Structure formats: C-alpha cells, structure tokens
Amino acid sequence: MIPPMAAGIEVPSLTDGVADRAAEGGSGVMHAVIGIWTVDPAWHDEQHRLLREEIIPLVRRQPGFLTGYWMHDPESGRSHTTAVFHDLESAGRFKALVESGTRQAARVGVVSAVLTTVDVVAHAEHPDSPPR
C-alpha cells in the first residue's frame, strides 16, 4: 500500500480540532463508548424496533453526545456500537446507563461481550461531506 502522503493525499494531524474543542470548554479529547454484543437472531424484529423507537432517541438526549453508530456483522452474529461524546464525564455517565440496562437487553437476546470507554485520537470525513 502506498502511504497517503506519497500518493499526494493530505493527512490531517491527530490533533486537528483539539484546540477548538478545548476552547469550547472541553479537554480537547473526545471519548467514545464502544460495545460489542452477541445477538440472538430470533429477536431481530423486536431488537430493531427497540433500536429505532427507544435506544437511538435516548442516546441522542444524552449530555455531551456527538454521534453514534450501530453496526452488525452477519458473519459473526455480533453487533458493534460506537457512541462519541464531547468529554470523558459524559461518556462515563452513558456507559453506566448502558450497564444498568444489560439485564433488560438480555430479555430480547442482546448480551454485552465488551463495553469500554476510549479516547478518540483521530477522526476523518470525506472532504465533500456536508458539515454536521
């Protein structure tokens, strides 16, 4: 593979935007809550209904929430989630909220395999992406 710089592709610094977030009162580092879930396909319809009608609206209302992704790997049968927050405190509160709901999730065939909070060290978007 050709390194991006050798191919003439501009690669932003890992710290691009950090000063902007720090000026807004944050630490400058975003944080994400990453989840990996085993999913019972027998509950597929109910899982997707809950995701659309309850989970996504709940996540959107969380303080410090920036963006989220819900993904599924049909080969492994696992789902993956990423919720990005403006600061560590918000991410920590959200992680605790998710942990408190694991028993309820298990009732519809969703079991947590991994749930962790991480620092977001870089972010990229296509240059033609509309601003968020």
Question: Over the chain, what is the mean pLDDT?
Answer: 84
pLDDT of residue 55: 95
- Does an H or E element contain 29, and which? none
- Model confidence at 10: pLDDT above 70: no
For 41, what's the count of Cα atoms within 13 Å in the CB-facing half-sphere?
7
Predicted confidence (pLDDT) per residue in 21-37, tens digit: 444 545 579 999 999 99
Which position has the token pair 């950090």? 18
- Model confidence at 4: pLDDT above 80: no
Give pTM, 2 decimals: 0.77
| Res. 56 pLDDT band, cuts 50 70 90 | very high
Domain assignments of the chain as residue spans, ordered by start: 29-120
Note the CATH architecture for domain 29-120: 2-Layer Sandwich (3.30)
Neighbours of 95 (CB within 10 A): 19
By the 8 A CB rule, do 80 and 73 touch?
yes
Predicted confidence (pLDDT) per residue in 94-132, tens digit: 999 999 999 999 999 999 999 999 999 998 888 888 876
Distance CA(102)–CA(110), nearest Å, equals: 8
